[in-house]
Structure 1
């Protein structure tokens, strides 16, 4: 025979179990969410084309960081990435006046990544406060939940402004090829 006491225990057990599951789902969703304003940026270390390792936390000691996540080589050099990088280089003096380091991340499969990255940046003269880093096999891209895992895609093009405290002050990710952050938006975020 089922008693009131048994029903109450079952109800209480079910309630506790439901809350536990809900809490786990909320944490799982947060762990897989795109980085957002107010989040602490995950530290990372990637190499440039000369093999020098660059670490986000080291760059933040100098000042804020503008992080541009490019599409890499999805079977061709992305013309929108080229235009975006050119726009940021054009605004290099303003970015330097804001004491910002610009880190560009070029993701892709490790096979031929250095070759493709060199093709992309070869004709660009990068200012001293710009870093062009490669992300072999999407280690960084996956850690930031920016992997665009579809045919002929690599990463969601994204831009973040990270303050010296490591917190994201500005975040814009596009789930298409367009809709990129421009230098004017980034400079505004740096000034706030």
Structure 2
């Protein structure tokens, strides 16, 4: 009898352990952006709150390193970097999230930036080697040769999302002009 109860209890624990993990929901416009702590490829820690306390945060989630350097990501990052001064004028810090498998992700991220170095002072690249951020934001693109859905969030001083775009393909990314237009609309809406 005791052995039978133990077996039922053990099976119950095994079944609980094999339950599918739930994925976090992607933050919607009007919701708080979940806090995160990530590091640059050189190991410098950054958090959302340290940037949102200063002003608007443009959070751009890249595909990162799905086994190669994504040309769509390179084009998008180049666009944001070359418009870096316009983001300074708009009072925005840009955080680029580069997810991927943990092995050598810091080196892959450094290689990714070779054409863009040095980054403007208000543009920061962070790595997500364990997909903690990607999963926290519900953006994990869990398919062969994929990492995260390319996404952009605009986050205000109170850490509230006021714009979001999630792409479920490689293209259809936000451009610097798209984001600068949204920042201008938000500033105009709050100046009246």
- Whether the TM-score (by the shorter chain) exceeds 0.5 is yes
Contact 2:40 2:46 in 1 (8 A): yes
Equivalent position of 2:110 in the other structure: 118
Deviation at 1:123, TM superposition (A): 2.4
What does residue 93 of structure 2 align with? 101
Displaced runs of 4+ in structure 1, greater than 4 A?
none
Name the TM-score, length of structure 1 as normaliser: 0.82
Structure 1 segments unaligned to the other structure (5+ residues) = 1-28
Whole-angstrom CA distance in 1 between matches of 2:24 and 2:101: 21
Given that residues 42 and 106 in structure 2 are in contact (C-alpha distance below 8 angstroms), is that contact kept between their aligned partners in structure 1? no
Mapping 1:10-159, distance limit 5 Å:
32-124=24-116, 125-159=118-152
Q: Would you say how many aligned residue pairs link Structure 1 and Structure 2?
A: 163
Measured against aligned partners, the alpha-carbon deviations of 1:76-102 in whole angstroms (never above 9, x if no partner) come to: 100000000011111111110011000
CA offsets, 1:125-177, max 9 Å, x none?
20001111000110100000000000000000000110111111110010100
Cα drift, residue 32 of structure 1 = 3.5
Structure 2, unmatched stretches of 5+, are 1-21, 187-192
TM-score in terms of structure 2 length: 0.82
Distance 1:38 1:156, change over 3 A: same
